[in-house]
Copies of this chain bind each other. A is one copy, B any other.
Amino acid sequence: MSLLVTGTIALDTVETPHGTAESVLGGSSVYFSLAASCFTDVRLVGIVGDDFDRALLDPLRVRNIDTRGIEIRADSKTFRWRARYTGSMNDAETIDTQLNVLGEKAPQIPPEFLDSEYIFLANAPPATQLDFAKRFPGACLIVCDTMNLWIETEPDALKQTLAAVHGLVLNENEARLLTECQNLITAGRRILEMGPRFVVIKKGEHGSLLVSHEDLFVLPAYPTEKTIDPTGCGDTFAGGMMGYLASRGELTPAALRSAMARGSVVASFVIESFSIDALARINRDDIEQRLKTLRQMSVYE
């Protein structure tokens, strides 16, 4: 089924203990769509400035990602993010954010995208997410992400958005902040009361957790020794998950579990390189192979 993502397209500068990547391709919709494209056709809605080198999108086109929803806005500049990872590299320290074109009006959804059945609203102001959600009244599945900033500054708008979506993907600290609840399962249940049918709580190297009315699922992360750059991990997880769900076309608890496992494994590739380098190279076979290894590493009698 058709999968649409709206989110950022960024030029990232990232410093890690392994080096620095300068002005490389990043952004939530980029990581998401590359991950999802391992499973299904993806439509991307995003916006860049006229400083953006279109050749950067070649890896997306190679994967048949429909980039007709990327607006190149004249007299605007592309969103830029500079960050540093240290220590356990679980959290990025933002050094500089230049919103640029993201501070202007949101991109348009091409009319030919309006029949999309699976929708992912990457992190954005909740009111913007809600506007997008309303454009897809007949969608099978609308899932959103959010972040600390909106939980703290736009709690009412965020609650309206959560009431309008079917699923929420967020990290453990965001789940705790949103619910004022330390226990993640309890936090998940509180989020269900806000509207979504399911919530996926990402815990980085510690795996992830699914809470829904029908299910509770715990998944360890694929253990990797090679952490070069965690940027985009969460969006990649969501992309793998949504891409798999759209390819499967059903929303049973078993399908959600399988989808999270794929998302988690795709994310384990992303951290092994800067930017999208590793992600652009893998295919579905690589994912299934690593999933098999993860299963072997977590089975017990």
- Chain B, residue nearest A209 (CB): B223
> A224 to B218, alpha carbons, bound, how many Å?
11
Please report the C-alpha to C-alpha distance between residue A258 and residue B227 in the assembled complex, in whole angstroms: 29
A254 interface residue per 8 A CB criterion: yes
Whether B216 contacts A218 by the Cβ 8 Å rule is: no
Complex Cα distance, B223 from A301, in Å, reads 19
Q: Is the CB of B297 within 8 A of A225?
A: no
Are the CB atoms of A300 and B258 closer together than 8 Å? yes
Task: Give 1 or 0 for each of A181-202: 1 = CB within 8 Å of chain B CB.
Answer: 0111110000000000000000
B-contact bits for A71-98, CB 8 A (1 contact / 0 none): 0000000000000000111000000000
Closest to A207 in B: B220
A61: Cβ under 8 A from any B Cβ: no
A267 proximal to B (CB < 8 A): no
Chain B CB within 8 A of A153 CB: no
Could you say which residues of chain B place their CB within 8 Å of the CB of A261? 300
The answer to whether B182 and A88 have CB atoms under 8 Å apart is yes
CB of A218 within 8 A of CB of B297, answer: yes
Contact A223 B219 (CB under 8 A): no
Q: How far is the CA of A182 from the CA of B297 in the complex (A)?
A: 21
Render A255-283 as a binary contact track against B, CB cut-off 8 A, 1 for contact: 00110110000000000000000000000
Q: A117 within 8 Å of B by Cβ?
A: no
Scoring A223, A258, A261 by chain B CB atoms within 10 A of each residue's CB, the highest score goes to A223
Query: How many residues on chain A are close to B (CB under 8 Å)?
Result: 35
B218 touches A223 (CB 8 A): yes
Contacts of A221 in B (CB 8 A): 218
A216 to B297, CA, bound (A): 6
Are A225 and B89 within 8 A (Cβ)?
no
Q: Which 8 A-B pairs have the closest CB atoms?
A: A206-B206, A257-B300, A218-B220, A88-B182, A261-B300, A185-B225, A220-B220, A258-B301
Residue pair B87, A298 in contact (C-beta under 8 Å): no
Closest to A220 in B: B218
Q: Does A66 reach chain B (CB closer than 8 Å)?
A: no
Contacting residues of chain A (122-140) with chain B, CB-CB under 8 angstroms: none
Of listed A203, A216, A298, residue having the most chain B CB within 10 A: A298
- Which of A224, A227, A294, A301 has most chain B Cβ within 10 Å? A301
Are A298 and B218 in contact (CB-based, < 8 A)? yes
Q: Known interface pairs A206-B206, A206-B207. Does A298 touch B225 (Cβ–Cβ under 8 Å)? A: no
What per-residue 1/0 map shows which CB atoms of A275-297 lie under 8 Å from chain B?
00000000000000000001001
Closest to A186 in B: B225
A residues 216-256 in Cβ contact with B at 8 Å: 216-221, 223-225, 227, 254
